[in-house]
Amino acid sequence: MQRSYFDHNATTPVSASVLKALVPALAEVYGNASSIHHHGQVAKQQLETARRQVACLIGCEAREIVFTSGGTEANNLAIFGAVLGRPAGKRHVVTTAIEHPAVLRVCDQLETTCVPVGSNGIVDPEDVSRAIRPNSALITVMHANNEVGTLQPIEEIAQVAQEAGVLFHVDGMQAAGKIPVNVKALGVDLYSLSGHKLYGPKGIGALYVKKRTHLQPYLFGGRHERELRPGTENVPGAVGLGQAAVDFCADEMGRLVLLRDRLESGILRNVPGTGVNGDTARRLPNTSNIYFDGFEGEAMVISLDLKGFAVSSGSACSSGAVEPSHVLMALGLSKDRAKSSIRFSLGASNTQEQVDDLIDAVAESAAHLRKLSPTYAHA
Amino acid sequence: MLSETIAVAMSGGVDSSAVAGLLHRQGAQIVGLTMQLWNQRRLPELAVEGGGAGRCCSLDDVYDARYVAQQLGIPYYVVNFEQRFEDQVVKPFIGEYLAGRTPIPCTLCNNFIKFEQFLEMAEGVGAAKIATGHYARIDFNDQSGRYEMRRSVDTAKDQTYFLFGLKQDQMARTLFPLGGYLKPQVRELARELGIPVADKPDSQEICFVPNGDYAGFIDAYFREQGVASEQTRGEIVNTDGEVLGEHEGVHHFTVGQRRGLGIAAGEPLYVIATKPAEHLVVVGRNRDLLRARLTAQDVNWISVDAIRVPMRAEVKIRNKHLAASAMLSPTSDPNRIDVHFDEPQRAVTPGQGAVFYSGELVLGGGWIE
C-alpha cells in the first residue's frame, strides 16, 4: 500500500541531509564533549557548531542556546527555571488555555492563571495583560498552536511582559523550522524548540535563554550547558538538530501553503457539513484543522489509515485512544464537534498528487461514515 | 477489498487474541480494535495492589493486544468508548443498585457497547463483520430465516446468559469463533499461534469494579462527581417487619446475600429483598428466598419469534444458575413474559436476566422485574 504522511505536527521524518550528518556523528564522534583529549575536542567542536546553527535559525547568539533532551524538557527548564529563580513570593505564571500539555502540566505544578482564547484560536494580549499580578514571575505562550496552527501575537505579549517586568517564555515547537523566527525581534526571554518537529532527530531540543536571564536548574549533576542542564551532551542529536536548522528554507512555506489550501478547499467543496477550526489567515502554512459534522474523528483517522493516509484527531491518551481536544474545546467548539475534527499537517514529503488522493479518500470515508450516522441529517 | 474485512475486538486476553490468530490463520483480512471503556486512573482511592493490571482497559492489556496484533501483522487501533460506557453501562449500573436491584453490566455492555457502538465503529472503518472471544455459537436457520444462538461447546465457559439482548441484525454481522472450542483447546491454539498471552489468567467479575467491591465503587464514583451518595442507610427487618439491626445503605445488599448483615440469629439469615424507598433491607430464612414465578420485561427473542401461546423452556436466572424447567406465558404486553417454574427457585433477583433455553438453543431473555 502507498502510504502518505499528513501528520507533520506530530513529528517529522529525519531528512536525508540530517541522516547524512547523523551517521558520522554517531559512528565517529564518540568523545565526551567535556574531555580534554582529542576525542573530546572533536565532540566539543561539533556541539558548538550545532549550537551556532540553531542560534542562527532563531536569530540569537550561540551562547544563548541550551541543548536539552527535547521540547518537553526545554519547556520544563524554562518554566521551572524562571519561576524557581524568583523569590518565593513571586512565582505566579500566566499561560493560555491552548498550550501543549508540556506547558500546561508544568504550570499545574505552580500557581497559574490560564487565559482563554477567542474562537479564532488566538489569545488577546490584553487578556494576558489583565492576568498579570504583582507576584507574577512568568508569561508562557506558544508561538504556533499544534492542533489548529494559529499564530499567537508574540511581539505584543512581549511588550506586555516587558512593561510588567515579567519574564516571557515562548513554546516554539511548532513554529521553529516552519516559519522564520527571530527571538530578538520577537522580544522574548526564553524560547523552546524540538529537533523532531523540523526533520531533526528525536531526543534533542533546545532552549534559548536571553543573556542575563536568571534560570535556576531543576536537574542536578555535572556542569554542562552553562550549569543549566547537566548530563553528557548528546552530540549526535545536536549535530542532527543543527543540520535541520541549516536546512530551513523559507521557500518551502509557499509550497506548503498552496498544497494546504488545495487540500482544505478540496475537502470543504467535496464534503458538506465541514468547516475550518481557528483563524485561517494567522496560522502556520502547513496546518489545517477541519470538523466533519455527523461522525467521530477517531473513525475517520482509522479509516484513512487503512487507506494509507496518516492524519490525527484530538490527542492520544496513554492507551493510544483519542480524547477530545482541549484546544478545540477552548475555541468554544462543542464536545461533538471537537471529537469530529481532524488535523491535517503537511510537510516536505507531500505532493499535489497525494493531496488530491487524500481529498478523494476523505470524501469517500466521510460519505461512508455519514451513511451509518443516526444523527446526521442527510441532505 | 475492505468489505471483506473483519474487526476483532481485542482485549489483550487469551480468548480474543486467539480469535485474531484463528481468523488470521484462515486468511481473513482483519483489523484489531481495543475498546477503551474505563479509565483505571479514575477513582484512585480504589487502586489495588499492582496498579490494576489485568483488569479491563489497563495499559498492560492494551500493550498485550497491541503486541499480539503486531505479531500477526494486522492493523490495530485503540478506540475510545469511555463516554458511552459511562453513560450506558456505569450510570445504569449504579442506578440499578440504588433502586434495590442487582444489575448485570456485562449485558448492558454487550447490548450498547460491543454489539452497537463497536459494530458501528467496525462498519465505519470498513469492516463488514465483527468477531469477539465470547463463548457462544451463532448459526443461520434457513427454515425459520432467523439467526439462532447456541450455548458454547465448553459448557463451563458458556456466555450466552450475557448475550440475550442480541438482535438479529447484530447477529448477522457477528462471529463467535470460539463457540465450538473448549477453553484448554483455546489456550493450546493460542500457544500454537505463538500468542504470548496464552497463559494469562481469565478475567474475573465486573471489569471496572476492582476486587468486586461494587458498593465501594459506587461511593467513590459519587465522591468523584461531587455529589453526596444517596443516603439509603436504614434498618434491617425480618419478614414480619421486626427490626433486627441497621445497615449502611441498601446498595450494599443483594437478594440471597448472607454475609455482611451483622446480625446474630439462631439460624442463617439471608437478604430476601431491598426496599430503597423505605431504606429497608428485608431478611429471612433460606426457604423465604424460594419463588416459583417471575416476570421478565424488555424481552428479546433470539432463536424463535415472539411467542403467542405458552411454551416450555429451561430458564436461567443468573449466570451460575442451573437452568430450571419452566412454562413461559405471554402477557398482554408483548415485551413481558411470565415465567412459572416447575420447582421454586432460590433468590430470584430483580435486575438480573431471565434467559430462556431449549436445550442448548437460546430462545431469548428479559430482565427480572
Q: Using CA atoms, how far apart are residues B262 and B270, in angstroms rounded to an integer? A: 11
Residue B57 annotated to the active site: no
Q: State the helix-helix crossing angle for B59-72 and B14-25, rounded to 10 degrees.
A: 10
Give the closest-approach CA distance of B80 to chain A in angstroms.
5
The answer for residues whose C-beta is within 8 angstroms of residue B318's C-beta and 6 or more apart is B161, B347, B349, B352, B353
Are B141 and B354 spatial neighbours (Cβ–Cβ below 8 Å)? no
Q: What is the pLDDT of residue B1?
A: 39
Is residue A64 pLDDT above 50, yes or no? yes
Q: Is the pLDDT of residue B77 over 60?
A: yes
CA angle A60, A64, A65 (to 5 degrees): 95
Looking at the predicted structure, is the pLDDT value of residue B143 above 50? yes
CA nearest neighbour of A195 among A373, A35, A22: A22
Let me know the angle formed at the C-alpha of A357 by A351 and A358, rounded to the nearest 5 degrees: 90
- Check: CB of residue A248 under 8 Å from CB of residue A198: yes
Retrieve residue B294's grid coordinates: 417471575
User: A166-180, A272-286, A306-320 — which is least confidently predicted?
Assistant: A306-320
Q: State which amino acid sits at residue A33.
A: A
CB B203 within 8 Å of CB B44: no
CA A6/CA A12 separation, integer angstroms: 10
Per-residue pLDDT, averaged over B251-264, amounts to 84
Q: What residue of B is the nearest CA neighbor of A314?
A: B80
Asked whether the beta carbons of B350 and B102 are under 8 A apart, the reply is yes
CB B300 within 8 A of CB B165: yes
pLDDT for B208 = 87
B62 with A295: Cβ contact below 8 A: no
Mutate to test the interface with A, among B125, B130, B169, B173 (most CBs of A within 10 A): B125
Is A375's pLDDT higher than 70? no
Whether A207 and A65 have beta carbons less than 8 Å apart is answered as yes
Mean pLDDT of A320-333: 88
C-alpha cell at A336: 461533538
Provide the whole-model pTM. Answer: 0.90
Question: Look-up: residue for cell 536571553?
Answer: A210
Residues listed for chain B: 369
What is the Cα–Cα distance from A121 to A148, expressed in whole angstroms?
7
Tell me which H or E stretch contains B175: strand B174-175
User: For the CA atoms of A77, A78, A81, A85, what is the dihedral angle to 10 degrees?
Assistant: 170
Q: Which chain A residues have a beta carbon less than 8 Å from that of B77?
A: 302, 305, 320
How far apart are the C-alpha atoms of B348 and A199, rounded to whole Å? 66
**pLDDT value at A378 more than 70:** no
- Maximum pairwise Cα distance, chain A: 74
Task: Please give the pLDDT value at position B46.
Answer: 76
Task: Check A319 against B123: CB less than 8 A apart.
Answer: no
Q: What is the pLDDT of residue B55?
A: 56
Residue B332 Cα distances to B297, B298, B306, B329, B356, angstroms: 12, 13, 13, 10, 19
* pLDDT surpasses 90 at A212: yes
Are A44 and A33 in contact by the 8 Å Cβ rule? The answer is yes
Cell numbers 481468523: residue: B23
Q: What is the share, in percent, of chain B residues with pLDDT greater than 90?
A: 67
B156 touches B185 (CB < 8 A)? no
Which pLDDT score, from 0 to 100, does residue A164 have?
A: 97
Q: Running DSSP on this structure, what letter comes out for residue B101?
A: -
CA A181 to centroid of chain Cα atoms: 13
Lowest-pLDDT range, A359-363, B50-54, B108-112, B193-197? B50-54
Cβ–Cβ contacts within 10 Å for residue A327, how many? 28
ipTM of the prediction:
0.86
| Neighbour-count burial for B297-324, b at 16+ CB within 10 Å, e otherwise | eebbbbbbeebeeebebbbbbbbebebb
A191 has a chain B CB within 8 A of its CB: no
Please answer yes or no on whether A302 and B77 come within 8 Å at the CB atom. yes
Residue among B56, B57, B106, B207 flagged as catalytic: B207
Contact A369, A378 (CB under 8 A): no
The model's confidence at residue A379, banded by pLDDT at 50, 70 and 90, is very low
The reported pLDDT for the residue numbered A215 is 96
Find the mean pLDDT for residues A370-376: 78
Does the pLDDT value for residue B213 go beyond 90? no
The string of DSSP codes covering B30-89 is EEEEEEE---TTSSGGG--TTTTTTSTT-HHHHHHHHHHHHHHT--EEEEE-HHHHIIII
Nearest residue, CB atoms, A303 vs list B57, B66, B126:
B126
Residue A71's pLDDT band (cuts 50, 70, 90):
very high
Kindly state whether A317 is in contact with chain B, defined as any CB-CB distance less than 8 angstroms: yes
Q: Determine the average pLDDT of the residues in B102-119.
A: 93
Q: Residue B53: what pLDDT?
A: 45
Give the pLDDT confidence of A284-300 residue by residue, as tens digits.
999 999 999 999 999 99
DSSP string, B137-160: EEEEETTTTEEEEEE-SSTTT--G
Q: What is the pLDDT of residues B49-74, one digit of tens each?
A: 554 444 566 788 889 999 999 999 99
Q: How far apart are CA B319 and CA A281, in angstroms?
A: 61
Average pLDDT over residues A124-143: 98
pLDDT tens profile A230-267: 999 999 999 999 999 999 998 999 999 999 999 999 99
A375 touches chain B (CB under 8 A): no
Q: Which residues in chain A have their CB less than 8 angstroms from residue B123's CB?
A: 372
Is residue B109 flagged as an active site residue?
Answer: yes
d(CA A156, CA A149): 19
Q: Is A361 on the interface with B (CB under 8 A)?
A: no
Q: How far is B202 from chain A (nearest CA, A)?
A: 21
> What secondary structure, in 3-state letters, does A89-139 show?
CCCEEEEECCCCHHHHHHHCCCCEEEECCCCCCCCCHHHHHHHCCCCEEEE
Q: What is the pLDDT of residue B339?
A: 98
Q: Which residue has the cell 426457604?
A: B287
| Residue A14: per-residue pLDDT | 98
Q: Name residue, grid cell 488577546.
A: A124
Q: Which residue has the cell 441498601?
A: B250
CB B34 to CB A302 under 8 A? Answer: no
pLDDT band at A319 (very low <50, low <70, confident <90, very high): low
Is the Cβ of A367 closer than 8 Å to some Cβ of chain B?
no
Q: Do B78 and A303 touch (CB under 8 A)?
A: no
What b/e readout covers A340-369, taking b as 16+ CB neighbours within 10 angstroms? bbbbbbbbbebeeebbebbbebbeebbebb
B125–chain A nearest CA distance, Å = 4
Judged against a pLDDT cut of 80, whether residue B229 lies above it is answered with: no
Residues, chain A: 379
**Residue B174 bridge partners (DSSP):** B130
- Location of C-alpha cell 457502538: B117
Share of chain A above pLDDT 70, in %: 97
Give the span between the Cα atoms of A305 and B227, in whole angstroms: 42
| Min Cα separation B116/chain A (Å) | 12
Output the CA angle A342-A344-A345, nearest 5 degrees: 145
Q: What is the mean pLDDT of chain B?
A: 90
Q: Once rounded to an integer, what is the mean pLDDT over residues A330-338?
A: 94
Give the pLDDT score at B219.
87
Comparing alpha-carbon positions, the chain A residue that sits nearest to B80 is A321
**CB A150 within 8 Å of CB A278:** yes
Q: Which three cell numbers stand for residue A224?
A: 554542562
Which pLDDT belongs to residue B3?
A: 44
CB distance A306–B126 less than 8 Å?
yes
Q: Give me B245's grid cell.
A: 439491626
Q: According to the model, what pLDDT value does residue B2 have? A: 40
| Phi, psi (deg, nearest 5) at residue B326 | -160, 165
- Give me the residue label for grid cell 424463535: B304
Name the pLDDT band for B48 (thresholds 50, 70, 90).
Answer: low
Looking only at the bridges linking them, the beta strands covering B361-368 and B146-151 are antiparallel
* Cα dihedral sign, B48-B51-B54-B58: positive
d(CA A192, CA A173): 6
Q: Do B123 and A372 touch (CB under 8 A)?
A: yes
